[in-house]
Chains A and B, each alone.
Chain A
């Protein structure tokens, strides 16, 4: 909740404005915020179809490049498939991860959380620059 919206609700609770006036103020606030949010996101939402992973590296003076393009639909389908993994397998996977020094509890990961993550991947851009390698993860 934004600070301005909270102020409007406080004014409503204090009886300084009526419910209709508060509704009009919130509507005006949303109108003002909509273009600002659109301005941040230069890419057209809903148009992205692929997750791209591009790695440019230099191994012992030999340039190497990995360029992977995965359809987002495939990630969504993978999430649905992963939701079928039985709990006893997740417990074994947790133990293996913990032994490898990755203490992640996979049983706490819900399919809907993963779906939400995939839904919002189009807003994600990860760039890692190091002297030997450059990694870029983005959607297109």
Chain B
């Protein structure tokens, strides 16, 4: 599971923004929202006749595989970096 998401934004003539997001504390804070999202996903699976366990398992695999992903976009003096650890 991802532990830390790093977001860096460089803008010309402005101070760069660096944000480190610890995933676990954020998930704990947003736990009620996470529960609602999971419930909505279960309802969607039932409506569209998709195996709930298979769908949740596949979604969990996607989340577990996120660490190591990195997206780095630069244009001129502007840049955005998103790194998941």
Contact = CB atoms under 8 A, between A and B. Distances in A.
Interface of A: 49-50, 59, 62-71, 73-74, 76-78, 80-81, 83-84, 86, 89
Contacts of B71: 67-69
B72 A68 contact: yes
The DSSP consensus for interface residues of chain B is: mixed
5 contacts: A62-B75, A67-B73, A77-B62, A81-B62, A86-B50
B58 A80 contact: yes
Interface residues of B, number: 23
A74 B75 CA distance: 27
Contacts of B73: 64-67
The list of the 7 closest CB pairs from A to B, nearest first, reads A77-B61, A74-B65, A73-B65, A67-B72, A64-B75, A69-B70, A81-B58
A73 B60 CA distance: 12
